[in-house]
Amino acid sequence: MDFLTLFLVYLCFVLVVTALLCLCSGRKESFLTRSVNRASQVLSLVIPTQLQRVTHKVTHGALHRLFHTRSCLFVVLHIALQAAVFGEYTWEVFGYCWELQFHLLLLLLPYLLLAGNMGCFLLCSRANPGIITKSNHASLVKVYAYDGVMFQRGTVCPTCTMEKPARSKHCSVCRTCVHRFDHHCVWLNNCVGASNAGWFLLYLLSLTATAAALAALTVSFLIHVVLLSSLTHSTYLDAQGQEHPVEIAFLVQHLFLTFPRIVFMLGFVILLTLVLGGYSAFSLYLAFTNQTTNEWCKARRFGVSHHLSSQPPDRQLVYKNIYSKGIWRNLKEIFRPPTALERKKK
């Protein structure tokens, strides 16, 4: 069926683009950059040298500005996608569901979740993530202990020329060191650090809930349409003139041809819910174990092959997270970051 092929291509395209954006954001040499380099090597056999130089300069300059400099492009894209989805929901789904006498609170739930999500988005994107300056450096050094493996005492940031506090990292996009650095989020155009990690977690959870609510209401509407039309008890004739009972594929085709924009929106929202749901689960895991994304990635690279300088060379050191204090205390730390004074009291 042509419509099913088109719809599957659409879903795959959305999924691939989302995965590429996740892979490309926050990396010095992204997957997209490597792919462009490989493609350039192949095309260099047939493209003139002067044209290659111009294309290389334009392409690499654009990719660098896109993923490694602060830009509002993804913020605008973020808002545009939400506007498009909610425009379709308001224009068609809300009206149809209202005619089918859906409960008003259910229909307003996505808007309430959107309001909460936009509030968290503004607070997280506009907040100071925990930028380390000369005035607060002395106090931030005392907040977390150095584990001696991932964070070594005396390590100096070559850009900021200051000793790195434990759990901090220099962000090449924002060009500052950030306390309890998690990652740089292109969708927020800001880093996620000690001061806004709680708002980021709420933003992510509310965005997932918004997408899930839209998907659930849209699916519920389409099911109501199918049940009211009694298509499940009908039959159809195939190309050879043979009669068959209505199957799921036929129902999907009927809904696609009757409500094309709604079905396309539903496919996008379902994929978004799955992607955001997986990322939210991962973020909750990090919060429960008091880890950052940066620390989790570093721990994968460390493995068990690194040694402390004071340890015998034949003795392997297993990395251990010394910052975890139990689930509830870890969650409390996300929303209320500790200070040097609190650590001294403990």
pLDDT of 168 reads 94
Residue 235: its H or E element: strand 235-237
pLDDT of 321 reads 86
Distance, CA of 285 to CA of 218 (rounded, Å): 30
The answer to whether 26 touches 184, Cβ cutoff 8 Å, is yes
Write out the catalytic residue numbers: 185
How large is the average pLDDT for residues 9-37?
57
Long-range contacts of 27-32 (CB under 8 A, 24+ apart): 27/67, 28/68, 28/172, 30/63, 30/67, 32/63, 32/67
Kindly indicate the confidence band of residue 70, based on its pLDDT and cuts at 50, 70 and 90.
confident
Give which of 178, 146, 158, 140 is closest to 293, Cα–Cα.
178
How large is the average pLDDT for residues 168-190?
92
Instruction: List Cα–Cα distances, 63 to 49, 59, 66, 310, in angstroms.
Output: 21, 6, 5, 43
**Mean pLDDT over each residue of the chain, to the nearest integer:** 80
Kindly indicate the confidence band of residue 113, based on its pLDDT and cuts at 50, 70 and 90.
very high
pLDDT of 328 reads 94
How large is the average pLDDT for residues 105-117?
96
How large is the average pLDDT for residues 295-307?
67
The answer to whether 176 touches 131, Cβ cutoff 8 Å, is yes
Kindly indicate the confidence band of residue 51, based on its pLDDT and cuts at 50, 70 and 90.
low
pLDDT of 48 reads 60
| % of residues, the chain, pLDDT over 70 | 68
pLDDT beyond 60 at 15: yes
